[in-house]
Structure 1
Amino acid sequence: MTSSPEWAKEVDFGQTSLHVTAPRTEVIDFTAPVIIVCTRIIIRIGSPEVDPWGFLLPFRPLVWGGILVGLVGVLGSIVLMTSLSLPEDMVKSTGWWWWERVVLGVWMLAMLVLFLSYTGNLMSLLAIRYIPMPIQSLEDIVASPVTVFLLEGGVILEALVTAEDGPMRDVADLQYKGRLELVLARNFTMKLDSHVRRGDHILITNDLMLRRFMAQDFSLKGKCYFYLAKAKLQPLMMAIAGPKGSPLIPSLSRRITRIIEAGLLDYWTKLLTPNITSCLNPPTKVAVRSSIGINNIWVTCGHALRTNLLCRKLLLS
């Protein structure tokens, strides 16, 4: 509608802000920017999960390497010393095999210190759940099986379609795989609340609209179910439009500039949209307090097995 000169002759100015684009500036005038937004991606937050490689986290790779080298060194020393053939009477008179007890004692002491450190750190790490947020850029969208929602006829769709190469071109090509769908602006909330909430769809649009939806969802449910990807794809200026040469445009521009410089726009946004910043930085880790269950009973079994082996070694030595 904004590309038609007839539209500019029928009204004095637009009531809502429009995206400022080069084709639109040829037929209408814009005021000073009311707000500058970025194109962002909204995705469903994953469920907390335990890191499958969490048993390696208590020690750094260098420590694990030192333990392995120490184990090989101890075994090698035992093999080397036992391979020495000494007369039996000499062994009995001099007590040549005392070194076995020394090696065993030092090794048991070192393993006891390492084991206590390991179990303490492991129990702490088991109380931490990681919240997966895998999609953070356009490349992640292409690599994942999700379907993309875009505004029909929007400037974001135009930027993707006109891109000749790169990640934006790859996202535009998803339409040939059935993974790109166009939706009307009035259906955005419905798509977010149904398809995106399931986790198999994402939506790309300006972050102002997305932040408002996330704030409303947080106010209703008391929890953040969505997150915004780190990638900011395209900065967009939004301003009030009017006919070419309209005397209202300069006057509105001066007033808009004063409002923005006074900080009233940010104040009104927070006042009219509570919790608008509550889900902008959702946590990636959460602490869980629960009793020992069947899933982590293996830790207790490990303690029992270690105690049993320690007693056996003491008895044999």
Structure 2
Amino acid sequence: MNDFPSNKGPKECLFTRQVLVFQEDKMKTFLKIAAGEVNYGIRGVIGSWVPWTKIVVLDNGTVTIQGPMDNLLRILADKMNFDYELVQPGDRVWGVAKADGNWTGMLGMLQREEVEMAVGPFAVSRARETVCDFSEPVYSENMAVLMVRPSLQSDLAGFLMPFTPMVWLLTLAATLSICLAFYFVTKREASIFGHVRAKPWGAAAMWVIKALTQESTTGLPVTDGARVVVATWLLASLVFMSSYSGILTAMLTVPRVTIPIDSVEDLVSQGDLPWRLEAGSMMYQYYQEATEGVRQQVFEGHEGTFQDCWAARERIAKGEFAGICDITTMKKAMSWDFSMVLCTALYMSKVKVQCVIPPLPPANGLQVRDGQMPPLHDQGTSLQQRYDCYGL
């Protein structure tokens, strides 16, 4: 069963939700803990996602975390009076469903009841809710493309850039036409007035080229017809060369850097920079289940996976591949890069990843069709949900 609608639906943005994930039916136990009825020790699994969760392993083997989710977990443990122990999944991934119905990663440990809680930036989907219970979202995050920052490239054909190919073709055609006109006019007038010119073809071609490039020449015609051709070409050459020199000077003064990738559509339509997906993540499962459109092209064209965006930041900065990451992690990676060398080699696409939000079942019983969030005018959806959904 595909938990997501096709690309034919409304375009929205996938975001990651910072939540705590519990083993199925463990919410009742936590309610008892909060009420002070029991004292409970919890075994939780964590995944690394800087800056939300940074895993630190102490000398004695104890696994701890740093970051906002560590602060949240400590507050919950203090207020709800429970102890916890943290472990890491063996495959170091968040978890996706396999063909036999079993799950990998952190969600697989919840499914097998090896742990009772998972901490991390989990995206919420109906498929994942079959193996765990989600807390209320703490924070929502959009996704975008992270890649190496484009830079100025040497271009031997840069002197042709001021005009389009069509303008250059028309200029070449005009040059050939003036050469022919100058040759036939001078030849005809020479036969009428008895003038003799040596190498008329060479003289005509040389004069037209010198006039176009604004070079001086001494071979001026003495008849009226040829002088009309000369005046016409001199005026055209003046306009052409003035425009060309002005545009070329402006391009050299303020160079422009072309951004080849600014959206997922740009990513799949280019062939210079490969891209990878985060292993065992919601994004991987999302694109893997796509059956058409850009989403399917993203999965079919990806060249492997990476552990997480923070761990892969140096390889992305070197231009080895691009990745689809959450915006907060990308800003953290760009800040780290800037603090090291006072500039950043990373670039974050302006267009967010265009796809559909994995929804939570609404508390008021409103039905969600095919995984799509209700429209903006639907009164059953909270204002915050609608803002997050449509990127307002």
Question: Alignment partner for residue 330 of structure 2, among 190, 210, 214?
Answer: 210
CA distance in 1, matches of 2:273, 2:178: 52
TM-score (ref. length: structure 2): 0.47
Task: Report the CA distance between 1:192 and its aligned residue.
Answer: 0.8
8 Å contact 2:159–2:248 — kept in the other structure?
yes
* Greater mean deviation of Cα atoms: 148-157 or 12-21: 12-21
Do structure 1's residue 100 and structure 2's residue 226 form an aligned pair? yes
Structure-1 residue corresponding to 2:245: 119
TM-score (ref. length: structure 1): 0.57
Task: Report the CA distance between 1:80 and its aligned residue.
Answer: 3.3
8 Å contact 1:218–1:224 — kept in the other structure?
yes
Over 3 Å counting, the alpha-carbon distance change for 1:11 and 1:208 in structure 2 is: farther
Q: What secondary structure does 1:131 align onto?
A: coil
Task: Map 1:220-299 onto structure 2 (within 5 A).
Answer: 220-229=340-349, 230-234=351-355
Question: Alignment partner for residue 311 of structure 2, among 190, 196, 206?
Answer: 190
Higher helix share: 1
CA distance in 2, matches of 1:201, 1:80: 60
8 Å contact 1:17–1:238 — kept in the other structure?
no
Task: Map 1:72-87 onto structure 2 (within 5 A).
Answer: 72-81=176-185, 82-83=187-188, 85-86=191-192
Structure-2 residue corresponding to 1:201: 321
CA distance in 1, matches of 2:170, 2:297: 46
Task: Report the CA distance between 1:43 and its aligned residue.
Answer: 0.3
Paired AA for residue 86 in structure 1: I
Over 3 Å counting, the alpha-carbon distance change for 1:43 and 1:225 in structure 2 is: same
Count matched residues.
230
8 Å contact 2:126–2:358 — kept in the other structure?
no
Do structure 1's residue 37 and structure 2's residue 56 form an aligned pair? no
Structure-1 residue corresponding to 2:61: none
The Cα RMSD (Å) is 4.0
CA distance in 2, matches of 1:62, 1:211: 42
Do structure 1's residue 19 and structure 2's residue 149 form an aligned pair? no
Structure-2 residue corresponding to 1:180: 304
CA distance in 1, matches of 2:277, 2:167: 49
Paired AA for residue 292 in structure 2: D
CA distance in 2, matches of 1:132, 1:115: 26
Do structure 1's residue 49 and structure 2's residue 176 form an aligned pair? no
Do structure 1's residue 5 and structure 2's residue 125 form an aligned pair? no
8 Å contact 1:192–1:203 — kept in the other structure?
no
Percent of aligned pairs with the same residue? 19
Structure-2 residue corresponding to 1:252: none
Question: Alignment partner for residue 171 of structure 1, among 284, 292, 298?
Answer: 298
Paired AA for residue 293 in structure 2: G
Q: What secondary structure does 1:122 align onto?
A: helix
Over 3 Å counting, the alpha-carbon distance change for 1:201 and 1:119 in structure 2 is: same
Gaps of 5+ in 1: 90-94, 240-256, 261-317
Task: Report the CA distance between 1:63 and its aligned residue.
Answer: 5.5
Q: What secondary structure does 2:192 align onto?
A: coil
Over 3 Å counting, the alpha-carbon distance change for 1:38 and 1:56 in structure 2 is: same
8 Å contact 1:38–1:233 — kept in the other structure?
no
Q: Deviations over 1:14-69 (max 9, x none)?
A: 746642222445642543x5443222210001321255543234346675466445
Gaps of 5+ in 2: 1-19, 35-71, 74-119, 196-220, 361-381, 385-392
Task: Map 1:128-167 onto structure 2 (within 5 A).
Answer: 128-135=254-261, 136-137=263-264, 140-141=267-268, 143-144=270-271, 146-167=273-294
Q: What secondary structure does 1:71 align onto?
A: helix
8 Å contact 2:25–2:133 — kept in the other structure?
no
Task: Report the CA distance between 1:156 and its aligned residue.
Answer: 0.8
